[in-house]
Amino acid sequence: MAGRLRTIGLRITHAIPVILGVVVVSFLLTRALPGDPAVYFAGHAADEASIEEVRTALGLDKPLPEQFLVYAGNVLTGDLGQSLSTGQPVIEDLAHRLPASLELTLTALLLSCTIAIPLGVLAATRPGSAVDHLCRVLVTAGVSLPTFFTGVLLIYIFYYLLGIAPSPLGRLDFIYIEPDRITGFYLIDAAIAGDWETWTGALKQLVLPAITLTLFTLAPLARMTRAAMLSALSSDYIRTARAAGLTEDKVLFTYAFRNALLPVVTTLGMVFSFTLGANVLVEKVFAWPGIGSYAVEALVVSDYAAVQGFVLAMALLFVVLNLVIDLSYTLIDPRIGFETR
Amino acid sequence: MSDITTSQVPVKQDGTLAHIGYVLRSNPVTLLAFTMFAILLLAAVLGPVIVPYDPMESNAAIALQPPSMAHWFGTDNLGRDVFSRVILATRLDLAISVAAVALSFLIGSVLGSVAGYWGGWLDTVLNRLFDTIMAFPLFVLAMGIVAALGNTVENIVYATAVINIPFYARLVRAEVNIRRDAGFAQAAKLAGNSDIRVLALHIFPNALPPMMVQVSLNLGWAILNAAGLSFIGLGVRPPTAEWGIMVAEGANFIVSGEWWLAFFPGFALMFAVFTFNLLGDGLRDMVDPRQRS
């Protein structure tokens, strides 16, 4: 147990240089603005005095290394600057909108895993069958689908043609009252409040955007599950297990699946990266009030502090997710130690 | 001596061609991919010649008409012909992604070769750099870069190139690294070739086959990325015909049932990405038959 704790501690320290790199890149991005960054951060309506004020606040009158220290200090204290369009500190805006994005992303990933992993396992255990072909078609079509196009298509079919989906405008129809904010996840908040009418309303709004994201993430997961299962099933220990007379279920799930899970979890990390990007597009299509649509709105009005805050927040979120994935390796495969890497 | 070389070369080429022919015959999907690719190229090259209408010409009298014989893909809210716009956009979309992929191919090759051949602190620094790029969700990083550099088409190209560089660089680094001390590389060095010459002419060409597969798979992704950026209003501006923007504009009309505005540019986008993905799989079959799945 102590060894495992040490492993986990070591992995966490590995994340530190990456976080540092992320902060450096996002600092360089803000300073790469053509012309005077202070003018951009102060906004279109700013006069000389407020530009000067922004310049001192951002430390733009100091040399670059010192500017970086000021920036890093600000990031450390959670100060990402003021958003021009909302007038709020960027960090508060992001914190307020993050649950919406997470609710969407996590629902989609959960849905994706529950479909893709069984599909991949079935395809691997029955090569050449109908399931295998279905898997192949889904995989090839899935990676070619632009998320924003799938979203628009789903809206046309389920909202306009069939009329079973609610209008694609945000997280909750205006006839429902927003549940009291506890976690920020509408489904959880409504369930805590016991307000099942609102819960159903929120779920209805969530279905289409979540399916859009799911279709996008299904392909790499199913493909990797199938490949990993195939290679696990053809290995020596499976032959030995079969020769020893273990039941097929025992061979499949205890031996093959557990070994196949490792590459699948690795793929999950990559899928997260794509999902966080695709989230921005899906949020725009469905007018979902998450941090993605916040960034898009900020881009339109050249609200730089908000955009940079968003990029940094997304990168940090991704680093944390990767950390969680790496740590879950140790649960799946006790042989893994990070010292050797 | 010269007899031998002239007689050997055709045999070898024949072998390669025969192999390609064999792969194409045994795998009709790859043949389909090449056909689709030819259609895309035709649309990109001949676009302005073959379109029936001026893509910018608006005509309020025929706004929002469904597909008909006169307007195959219907007309948009300004009465512009959607078919003409979709065809013309091919050139711009392909140009953006080809330019971006070419850039990342070049930069990635150089950085990867250097890191793989000389190793040491340079390798460490470059690896850290690529790790940092990969630590961002890539589409989000592209958004950040375009927002910082300014909202132009060139910057879309640069942003797409930057987020793809690590893939190429890592591939080249691995290929170069395993051949750095190979017999043929040492022989070339002993024969008096400089390090750079050995690297560029003897070792690097070995990385080209897997790179080609990567390019093809990457092109589809680069198109998606560029279209996604213009979908959220970065880079290409209206009224320019571009698939991402056209889907974005068409999305406003989808709730009232005018599906053709968004459907056809979206379908063209899907067609292009699908083509490149199929092509990449087909190329991989030719280059490395073992990886066929």
Q: What is the pLDDT of residue A215?
A: 87
**A156 interaction partners in chain B (CB closer than 8 Å):** 254, 257, 259, 262-263
Instruction: Confirm if B230 and A149 have CB atoms less than 8 A apart.
Output: no
Q: What is the pLDDT of residue B12?
A: 47
> How far does CA B179 lie from the centroid of its chain?
28
B178 closest CA partner among B260, B107, B116: B116
CA dist list (Å): A268 to A109, A222, B255, B280: 9, 11, 34, 23
> How far does CA A133 lie from the centroid of its chain?
29
Crossing angle for the helix pair B138-149 and A2-31, nearest 10 degrees? 20
Q: Which two tokens stand for residue A213?
A: 């994201």
Residues A262, A311, A153, A177: what is their CA dihedral angle, to the nearest 10 degrees?
Answer: 100
Task: Give the ipTM of the model, two decimals please.
Answer: 0.83
User: Please, what is the average pLDDT of chain A?
Assistant: 82
Mean pLDDT of A283-304: 85
**B259 interaction partners in chain A (CB closer than 8 Å):** 156, 160
Report the share of chain A in percent with pLDDT over 70: 94
Q: What is the pLDDT of residue B162?
A: 92
- Could you tell me if residue B6 is inside a domain? no
Q: What is the pLDDT of residue A1?
A: 57
Q: What is the pLDDT of residue B106?
A: 93
Return d(Cα B138, Cα B145) in angstroms, integer. Answer: 11
B147 closest CA partner among A302, A324, A8: A302
- Could you tell me if residue B128 is inside a domain? yes
Domain boundaries, chain A: 2-76, 92-300
- Residue B239 preceded by cis peptide, ω within 30: yes
The top-scoring range by mean pLDDT among A43-52, A107-116, A316-325, B271-280 is: A107-116
Which residue range is the domain that position B87 belongs to? Answer: 16-56+70-292
Residues B67, B69, B71, B76: what is their CA dihedral angle, to the nearest 10 degrees?
Answer: -30
Q: Is A92 exposed, middle or buried (0-12, 13-18, 19+ CB in 10 A)?
A: middle
Alpha-carbon distance A314 to nearest alpha carbon in chain B (angstroms) = 7
Q: What is the pLDDT of residue B88?
A: 86
Topology of domain A92-300 in CATH is: MetI-like fold (1.10.3720)
- Could you tell me if residue B266 is inside a domain? yes
Return d(Cα B74, Cα B64) in angstroms, integer. Answer: 7
- Could you tell me if residue B100 is inside a domain? yes
Residues A61, A66, A70, A72: what is their CA dihedral angle, to the nearest 10 degrees?
Answer: 140
Return d(Cα B45, Cα B248) in angstroms, integer. Answer: 25
pLDDT over 60 (residue A11): yes
The CATH number of whichever domain residue B119 belongs to comes to 1.10.3720.10
pLDDT over 50 (residue A327): yes
Q: What is the pLDDT of residue B4?
A: 43
**B254 interaction partners in chain A (CB closer than 8 Å):** 152, 155-156, 160
State chain A's maximal CA–CA distance in angstroms. Answer: 82
B256:A160 CB<8 A: yes
Q: What is the pLDDT of residue B109?
A: 92
Chain A with chain B: Cβ pairs closer than 8 A:
151
Which of B148, B251, B273 lies at the smallest CB-CB distance from A144?
Answer: B273
Q: What is the pLDDT of residue B104?
A: 93
> In a 3-state reduction of DSSP, which class is residue B75?
strand
Q: What is the pLDDT of residue B11?
A: 44
Instruction: Show pLDDT as tens, one digit a residue, over chain B (293 residues).
Output: 344 444 444 444 566 777 777 767 767 777 888 888 888 888 888 878 777 777 777 777 777 777 777 777 877 777 788 888 888 888 888 999 999 999 999 999 999 999 988 888 888 889 888 888 888 888 889 988 888 888 888 989 999 999 999 999 988 998 888 888 888 888 888 898 888 888 888 888 888 888 887 888 788 888 888 889 988 888 788 788 888 888 888 888 888 878 888 888 899 998 898 888 888 877 776 766 555 54
Give A310's Cβ-side CA count (13 Å radius): 34
A276:B232 CB<8 A: no
> In a 3-state reduction of DSSP, which class is residue A179?
coil
Instruction: Confirm if B164 and B108 have CB atoms less than 8 A apart.
Output: yes
How do residues A46-80 score in pLDDT, each as one tens digit?
Answer: 777 777 777 777 667 777 788 888 888 888 888 88
Which of A25, A160, A307 lies at the smallest CB-CB distance from B257?
Answer: A160
Higher pLDDT, A336 or A84: A84
Q: Which two tokens stand for residue A94?
A: 């992001």
A154 closest CA partner among A71, A203, A211: A211
- Could you tell me if residue B4 is inside a domain? no
Question: In chain B, how many domains are there?
Answer: 1
- b/e code A14-42 from CB counts within 10 Å (16+ = b): eeeebbebbbebbbebbeebeeebbebbb
Q: Which two tokens stand for residue B170?
A: 């890592």
Q: Is B102 exposed, middle or buried (0-12, 13-18, 19+ CB in 10 A)?
A: middle
